[in-house]
């Protein structure tokens, strides 16, 4: 009579709690995580879009709240050096060049010009700049979160070799153990005797 390898000492192995395959038991949880990640990612991307729309709104206000004169502030979307994925919103101040052409230059301070024709909407322009600064900071944080998520997912994708190598070694170990047991006269489940793929 062939004794099945799992039948020896069967009486002392009564506790089967946790013996089920984890990959099958965790299927529902993986599904929930998938949904949660999709939701979080979608919410973050939507928040980034909404923030950029607010920046565009602030840009429109700055365009009409100040006279077309030297020192006027505005927003320009520029492709910055070292940034490959996005065009970036930049606060600019219009300055007169030597050739008498008005040119936007990157502004250092979020401060509206006062006096003269700038005085009429100075309060609204200042409020707009405060909110614009907050939007730029929020946009930077949202981009940082998305980039961190992208990099994390990208790094995980590079582990495919690990998974292939681990599966290869485990399949060989399983087959070897099954063959040894079979040769020793024990019964082994048929699925363990499947030859590993090369």
Confidence of residue 1 (pLDDT cuts 50, 70, 90): very low
The pTM is what?
Answer: 0.74
- Check: CB of residue 188 under 8 Å from CB of residue 181: yes
What share of the chain has pLDDT > 70, as a percent? Answer: 87
Are the CB atoms for 125 and 62 separated by under 8 Å?
A: yes
Decide if 191 contacts 6 (C-beta within 8 A). Answer: no
For the segment 132-189, what is each residue's pLDDT rounded down to a tens digit?
999 999 999 999 999 999 888 877 766 577 788 888 899 999 999 988 998 888 888 8
Q: How many CB atoms lie within 10 A of CB 178?
A: 19
106-112 average pLDDT score: 94
71: Cβ–Cβ under 8 A, 6 or more apart, which residues?
Answer: 93, 94, 95, 113, 118
Give the N- to C-terminal CA distance of the chain in Å, as an integer: 34
């Amino acid at each position: 009579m062939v004794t099945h390898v799992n039948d020896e000492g069967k009486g002392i192995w009564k506790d089967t709690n946790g013996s089920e395959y984890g990959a099958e038991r965790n299927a529902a949880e993986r599904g929930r995580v998938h949904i949660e990640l999709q939701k979080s990612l979608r919410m973050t991307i939507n928040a980034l879009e909404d923030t950029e729309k607010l920046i565009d709104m602030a840009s429109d206000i700055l365009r009409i709240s100040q006279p077309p004169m030297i020192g006027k502030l505005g927003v320009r979307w520029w492709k910055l050096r070292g940034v490959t994925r996005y065009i970036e919103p930049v606060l600019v101040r219009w300055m007169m060049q030597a050739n008498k052409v008005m040119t936007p230059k990157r502004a250092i301070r979020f401060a509206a010009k006062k006096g003269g024709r700038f005085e009429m909407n100075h309060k609204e322009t200042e409020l707009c700049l405060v909110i614009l600064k907050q939007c730029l900071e929020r946009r930077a944080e949202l981009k940082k979160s998305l980039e961190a998520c992208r990099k994390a997912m990208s790094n995980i994708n590079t582990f495919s070799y690990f998974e292939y190598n681990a599966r290869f070694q485990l399949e060989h170990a399983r087959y070897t153990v099954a063959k040894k047991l079979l040769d020793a006269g024990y019964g082994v489940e048929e699925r363990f005797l499947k030859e590993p793929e090369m």
